């Protein structure tokens, strides 16, 4: 029985990797972008699955030489892009964001951030398959949020920028597995 299970896993693993690569190709993330006067390059991209369903792919772009252990480093720009494969209600997105933020921050910090996060969340719409969100932090950690290529929110508050990008790039966020894949050194 164990040998049969191992054989099945070994046969299915290449299929899973091929499916993930196909999804990443569908997302068609940029290889390079410019933020301010700095070039950011695609460092890693990965697929997020939930209960065997492909939800979205995420890509992280940073300066080429920036270590990835802590990509939310002061003074360094970054670009996080999400490409969705499923329809998702805006309320579900907002709820998931708050769950992650509540795991990452204490109540006084969240109380301070809440008005700005609520303002950011007010720009959200229901997500459809094929939509993309992009969060870009410049060197001063001002935040630009784009929905399908159009800026829907911006803020010069670096604390908000780091906290919101941290939903994906800090421990105890939406998915530690996704974070580890995005910040892995190749």
Q: Is residue 21 part of a domain?
A: no
What is the rounded distance in angstroms from the CA atom of residue 55 to the CA atom of residue 71? 23
Using pLDDT thresholds of 50, 70 and 90, give the confidence band for residue 167.
very high
Residue 139: which domain range? 29-182
What is the rounded distance in angstroms from the CA atom of residue 100 to the CA atom of residue 78? 20
Using pLDDT thresholds of 50, 70 and 90, give the confidence band for residue 185.
confident
**3-state SS class at 93:** helix
- What pLDDT digit, counting tens, does each position of 51-99 carry? 888 999 999 999 999 989 889 977 899 999 999 999 999 999 999 999 9
Q: Is residue 74 part of a domain?
A: yes
Parallel, antiparallel or unpaired: strands 143-147 and 150-155: antiparallel
Q: What is the rounded average pLDDT of the residues 8-33?
A: 68
Q: Is residue 17 part of a domain?
A: no
Q: Is residue 23 part of a domain?
A: no
Q: Is residue 120 part of a domain?
A: yes
Do residues 135 and 173 lie in contact, with contact meaning Cβ atoms separated by under 8 Å? Answer: no
Number of domains into which the chain is organized? 1
Q: What is the rounded average pLDDT of the residues 30-54?
A: 93
pLDDT number for residue 51: 81
* pLDDT value at 8 more than 70: no
DSSP tag of 126: -
């Amino acid at each position: 029985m164990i040998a049969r299970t191992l054989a099945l896993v070994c046969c299915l693993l290449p299929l899973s990797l091929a499916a993930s690569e196909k999804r990443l190709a569908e997302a068609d993330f940029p290889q390079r972008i410019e933020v301010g006067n700095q070039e950011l390059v695609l460092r890693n991209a990965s697929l997020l699955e939930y209960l065997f369903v492909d939800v979205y792919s995420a890509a992280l772009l940073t300066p080429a030489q920036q270590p990835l252990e802590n990509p939310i480093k002061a003074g360094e720009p970054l670009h996080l892009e999400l490409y969705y494969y499923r329809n998702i209600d805006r309320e579900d997105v907002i709820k998931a964001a708050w769950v992650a933020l509540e795991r990452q921050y204490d109540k006084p910090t969240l109380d301070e951030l809440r008005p700005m996060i609520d303002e950011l969340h007010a720009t959200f719409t229901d997500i459809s398959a094929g939509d993309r969100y992009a969060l870009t932090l410049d060197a001063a950690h001002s935040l630009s949020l784009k929905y399908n290529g159009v800026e829907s929110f911006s803020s010069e508050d670096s604390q908000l920028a780091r906290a919101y990008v941290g939903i994906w790039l800090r421990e105890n966020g939406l998915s530690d597995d996704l974070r580890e894949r995005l910040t892995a050194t190749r």
